[in-house]
Amino acid sequence: MKKLAALLFKPVDISSLVFFRIAFGGILLIEVCRYFQLNWIHRYWVAPDFFFTFEGFHWVKPFEGNGMYIFFTLLGISAFCVMLGLFYRIASIFLFLGFTYIFLLDKTNYLNHFYLISLLGGLMTLVPAHRALSKDAQNNPAIRSDYVPLWAPALLTFQIGVAYFYGGVAKINADWLQGQPMFIWMAQDTDFPVIGRYFTEPWMVYFFSYSGLLLDLLIVPALLWKKTRVWAFVSITLFHLMNHNLWSIGIFPWFMMAATTLFFEPDWFRRLLNAQPVAKWRFPLRADVPVPQFQYSKPLVAFVAVYAALQLLIPLRHLAIGGNVSWDERGHRFSWHMKLRDKKARADFKVVDLDTREEWRIDQKDYLSARQRRKMATRPDMILQFAHHLGAQFRQNGVGRVAVYADVQASLNGRAYQQLIRPDVDLMTITRFSLATDWIVPLSTPLGGSEKNDGEDGDAAE
């Protein structure tokens, strides 16, 4: 362990970290521009009146008025500064805190790649990615360096590897191994160029299902081994390009392609720049500056060990919880369950005055956006959260004691619809932090024999 810890402070070329800094800032700048262009700021954080906050973060609220637009403008500026390496420490901290703030505003908008961006953003505040090819190094030559300690690129590489590997682990489940939900998704894209006509053929569906599983599981060791690295990178690049053309997953394929370059030798970007013919774009090592020796730090080693342990354990927590994670959602978030299930549901809510027995049927459109309704109906924790919100609203309007009931029918991966929430349970009696699950109906419907229902799409893009 001492040798391994000492290895973390070995000096390595900074250039791969520089490339990732440029790509990280540039891609997030594009993402911010997309939020303006597609009017997502208004749709997700200005128009809604209610937000599904994360447990412990109920105090995180959107800015009022034009505050969200101003905030996203500052977020775009910070991304641009990170890309340039200008005021890097301040910009990277604001970028990390800003994207994490956006992430925490509403569970409705949870995406695994947004979670990954938040984690990497936090790590980017620690690594010295601004010490070369940056405005900071240009303005202050004293900080310039051709080397960084190995822990800097290695920690980022580890985080990318965790996302890949656990994305494969999550696919080792009965539904995926039987080709679901891939059968459902591919049948919707038969107009895909050249190979689309085969998308309803079982052999093609199983090829996509199992190749995706094996690629996620094996890509990390294949990238780490020099003999297979180039072919692995080509394979994962084709995989991401295919995903970009098949599914609506935004910047994620491009972000992952850029991040996967961290698996190459630390000096790959320097060698690439030095090999091109334009002299002013070359990035030579300074021969007159000796290779630095980085000081060993026990607190840093402790942080790396704790961080790595958490990232390895958190995605497995659903195994200790039990149940079907794709059905009851317990342990689904923060576990790299990416593009894993197709879930549809229809939810009806009823509020009852316990004193007068008067009943009200809830029109969810009065409380939630269309996107919030779709997401909430498939997730028990969000159903419970909305039920408590309804109860609070009715109490504020003068109703004394209320009970809230939810009648939710859901379908997972093409199954026939079945009850998701027990309709006879008053959800006001279940706290958000309760470990009880008897209000959630276990999945008992087998694959096949799906029935028609006017439920709304849930997780096709997650």
Q: What percent of the chain has pLDDT over 90?
A: 87
Return the half-sphere exposure (C-beta side, CA atoms, 13 A cut-off) of residue 356.
Answer: 8
Which pLDDT belongs to residue 434?
78
pLDDT for res 112: 94
Distance CA 263, CA 164 (A): 12
Write down the residue that tokens 């520089």 correspond to.
18
Q: Whole-prediction pTM value? A: 0.94
User: In percent, how much of the chain has pLDDT > 70?
Assistant: 97
Kind and range of the H or E element at 144? none
Rounded to an integer, the average pLDDT of 17-30 is 98
Burial class, 56, CB count within 10 angstroms (exposed 0-12 / middle 13-18 / buried 19+): exposed
Q: Which contacts (CB < 8 Å, 24+ apart) does range 355-359 have?
A: 355/400, 355/401
Note every long-range contact of 39-44, with CB atoms under 8 Å and residues 24 or more positions apart, other chains counting.
41/68, 41/69, 41/72, 43/369, 43/371, 44/105, 44/106, 44/108, 44/109, 44/371
C-alpha span between 225 and 212 (Å, rounded): 20
Predicted confidence at residue 449, as pLDDT, reads 54
Least confident of 65-69, 123-127, 197-201, 318-322: 318-322
Tell me the residue type at 429: T
Give the model's confidence band at 448: pLDDT under 50 very low, under 70 low, under 90 confident, else very high.
Answer: confident
